Chains A and B, each alone.
Chain A
């Protein structure tokens, strides 16, 4: 599946239906996003890090 098809699929899954003039911008952003994801996947020391996520139970 080409980048354009995959990008449109992800937008459709999210429920977005952008006009053609926005799709050109989104295609560039999609490619940049995949590059950034690959950059982060290459940070080997992050694998055993505790993610900076917060889930806290408050007493009731």
Chain B
């Protein structure tokens, strides 16, 4: 991955901070830096690709690489006000990356714009994401998922999302309401699969080095011990049923729009509270394998908010084209944090 970027002329400036093994939350007592949100230092930047998103947002570098197994590119993109692409499962090779969950893990770019993400994806995958990126949204059908996604959201959060949906319509897309097939079941599938696969990978170290892991990482990984082989296989069957149902939906619409996270970045210590995790809407897509683009769509109380666009497998060019059109029409992606104000 880094070799491909270097060969294309990229200047690698360093490794960014992430959550331990891309799961859980950072702990100050561990020997890894605890990332901060460039918009407000006391807020969490999201994770696990925390430093990737916060560094892009702060202007430290043009683009970064992240991984996404349950939302780890899209959540930090939303909380830091940048653009992030989770490619189709299997599109970008994961060789060289320590696995979290082998059947869920994906690698993708984070950058300020969809155009920048396309440029990075051309290098880490294969070319041809830029040639049609200016084709616009006219004639595309976009389904909007509100059910499950806006429950309990603050009015400003809802207003930002509705304004983003309205912008898609102004750009010539035909917008309609759609329902997410077996939503809660696919979220459950992602969690059970992730815990099982992470537990299998880390089990021997968890037996002997339990307290070396952060508390949130070790308790989530150990949850794999609660999932039987039959439970895991059933999760993979539900996954296939979900893929079939979503394919039927994507025969009716070209893209699906939904909030990425229906709240702004919380404080780190509140990030795992049940009320907050229920407002994270990324996990549905990890079990399905479809590509998803996360875009900034506005602010509430000075903190960024995000929307995700999903498409059929291997339709990244269409997603990036939609993102480009949206960002030609809006300027949320151009906003940058004042680091002196945010960090004193």
> Which residues of chain A have a CB within 8 Å of any CB of chain B?
7, 10-11, 13-19, 21-22, 25-26, 29-30, 33-34, 36-37, 39-41, 43, 45-47, 49-54
18 contacts between A and B (CB under 8 A): A10-B225, A13-B225, A15-B207, A18-B210, A19-B210, A29-B226, A37-B192, A37-B231, A37-B234, A39-B184, A40-B189, A43-B238, A45-B241, A46-B234, A47-B237, A51-B233, A51-B239, A52-B240
Does B327 make an interface contact (CB < 8 A)?
A: no
Q: Is the CB of B226 within 8 A of A40?
A: no
Q: Is the CB of A36 within 8 A of B191?
A: yes
Cβ 8 A contact of B237, one of A7, A11, A51: A51
Given contacts A40-B231, A40-B234, contact A30 B226 (CB under 8 A): yes
How many positions in chain B have a CB within 8 Å of any CB in the partner chain? 37
Q: Is the CB of A14 within 8 A of B203?
A: yes
Q: Is the CB of A25 within 8 A of B225?
A: no
Residues of B within 8 A of A46 (CB): 234, 237-238, 240-241
Binding site secondary structure of chain A: helix
Residues of B within 8 A of A47 (CB): 237
Max chain A C-beta neighbours (<10 A), residue from B191, B222, B227, B244:
B222
Instruction: Give the interface segment out of B212-220, B256-264, B304-312.
Output: B212-220
Min CB–CB distance A23 → chain B (angstroms): 9
Shortest beta-carbon contacts, A-B, top 4:
A51-B236, A36-B188, A14-B225, A46-B237
Does B182 make an interface contact (CB < 8 A)?
A: yes
CB-nearest residue of chain B to A42: B185
Cβ 8 A contact of B223, one of A15, A33, A52: A33
